[in-house]
Structure 1
């Protein structure tokens, strides 16, 4: 059964990754092009040696080894590989959760697990450390920013685990369990958001509209992926479950 779920996760993860890639290409690439144009314009105003230094670390067409055309083509490869990795991990977690927590139907559990993963792994770190377009962020702080982001991902996963445990142990019906689970999820997220340092490296004069359009597209790409993956994986699980139910004698 685990092998079947793993293959299912890989297949639908790949499909969802390509769907998310199409959304990112249509909605996100124009914003990246605008951000790169701003970065190039800012670099042109700097001393020549400083401009060369920034170009070496920027990864864009001005002195970069990878052209924007290649980057755009590689977007689908990146989202496809992302979908494969997430789909495989999700299938293993789903196999561990199946029959133990969540909705009884396989499809319902898949959608609930995908929604929880989106909230814990994507939304929680996004609220504290949203994505930034090119020309935003100091290259010298990339390690510290990555560590902080991963810390928020860990907080989100911990919060999800606490929420699931709370929902299982709180007595009463859904009207008692769901509010308790939501509060249990929010408590560590709020505490961590207050304790962890903020990151604000947006340069002066960077268009706020472009910044938030990029961030919303980044979040939207993840939403498209998790929605597509949850629906596809859940549909496949429900479809596989029907013959088993029909085989059970009345």
Structure 2
């Protein structure tokens, strides 16, 4: 794959990430802001510290412009990274077309970058948790992401090595089981990181975590569909109307 095509796919990946981020923002605003407000209200009701000064950014700005900026920037960034991963995966994980490869890349990213890490370190609302352990919990979460991605890559390489002898189906099952086993071992040995204060409403926590899951699932699903369409137009361009007419005239003359 030459650099011009990679550049075109990178740009389209960022555009697809922007579109997916816009959808994720709407979902986050409509579904995710309620649990966040409940968490902030819980923190304020149970805070034993005197109020500081005025907040630098109002809650209304945080939940609109701030949320939109964060989600859109995240969508563009991961869209570009996923597009590069797509360029590497195309033709190396099987005889899949552009759309199928984009869908598989999105699914793999959702599983390794989000779903597996939160099984060990679930998402908590911004106002929940001990601030003294924030750095430790953040480091553990990113360590889990790194392990999940590396183990996912290792599973793909294992499946490719086993495929000639075991067949694609058996090799995929073996690689998947190896990934699950390795991730389970990592989760057992890594320290716990859940730090929800006592008395925090379980319903609010559950709603926040489901909203977080929904945002990521929507973002990656939308990216896979949008980028698959855009990548297919780059890699498999359709003939123009003039080219089709020329081909038809040539066939008639022959």
TM-score scaled to structure 2, two decimals? 0.87
Matched, 1:35 2:35: no
CA–CA separation in structure 2 for the residues paired with 1:179 and 1:92 = 26
CA–CA separation in structure 1 for the residues paired with 2:101 and 2:50 = 52
Query: What secondary structure is seen at the aligned counterpart in 2 of 1:5?
Result: helix
Within 5 A, what are the aligned runs for 1:4-83? 4-43=8-47, 46=48, 50-52=49-51, 63-73=54-64, 74-83=66-75
Structure 2: stretches of 5+ with no match in the other structure: 248-254
Matched, 1:152 2:147: no
Deviation at 1:241, TM superposition (A): 3.6
CA–CA separation in structure 2 for the residues paired with 1:13 and 1:172 = 37
Matched, 1:133 2:141: no
Within 5 A, what are the aligned runs for 1:154-169? 154-169=146-161
* C-alpha distance 103-147 of structure 1, shift in aligned 2 (>3 A): farther
Which structure: larger Rg? 2
- What RMSD, in angstroms, separates the aligned Cα atoms of the two structures? 2.0
Deviation at 1:103, TM superposition (A): 4.2
Deviation at 1:174, TM superposition (A): 3.3
- The answer to whether the Cα contact below 8 Å between 1:9 and 1:87 also exists between their aligned partners in 2 is yes
More displaced stretch, 168-177 vs 27-36: 168-177
Instruction: Give the counterpart of 2:179 among 177, 185, 191.
Output: 185
CA–CA separation in structure 2 for the residues paired with 1:137 and 1:245 = 57
Deviation at 1:3, TM superposition (A): 1.0
More displaced stretch, 16-25 vs 34-43: 34-43
CA–CA separation in structure 2 for the residues paired with 1:181 and 1:245 = 40
* C-alpha distance 101-148 of structure 1, shift in aligned 2 (>3 A): same
Question: What is aligned with 1:210?
Answer: 204
* C-alpha distance 167-204 of structure 1, shift in aligned 2 (>3 A): same
Query: What secondary structure is seen at the aligned counterpart in 2 of 1:132?
Result: coil
More displaced stretch, 183-192 vs 168-177: 168-177
- The answer to whether the Cα contact below 8 Å between 1:102 and 1:112 also exists between their aligned partners in 2 is no
Task: Kindly tell me the number of residue pairs found equivalent between the two proteins.
Answer: 235
Query: What secondary structure is seen at the aligned counterpart in 1 of 2:115?
Result: helix
- The answer to whether the Cα contact below 8 Å between 1:162 and 1:184 also exists between their aligned partners in 2 is no
Matched, 1:105 2:104: no
Question: What is aligned with 1:60?
Answer: none
TM-score scaled to structure 1, two decimals? 0.88
CA–CA separation in structure 2 for the residues paired with 1:23 and 1:38 = 23
- The answer to whether the Cα contact below 8 Å between 1:106 and 1:241 also exists between their aligned partners in 2 is yes
- The answer to whether the Cα contact below 8 Å between 2:122 and 2:209 also exists between their aligned partners in 1 is yes
More displaced stretch, 106-115 vs 168-177: 168-177
Instruction: Give the counterpart of 2:6 among 2, 10, 14.
Output: 2
Deviation at 1:109, TM superposition (A): 0.7
Instruction: Give the counterpart of 1:235 among 229, 234, 243.
Output: 229
- The answer to whether the Cα contact below 8 Å between 2:112 and 2:148 also exists between their aligned partners in 1 is yes
Query: What secondary structure is seen at the aligned counterpart in 2 of 1:200?
Result: coil
Question: What is aligned with 2:250?
Answer: none
Query: What secondary structure is seen at the aligned counterpart in 1 of 2:199?
Result: coil
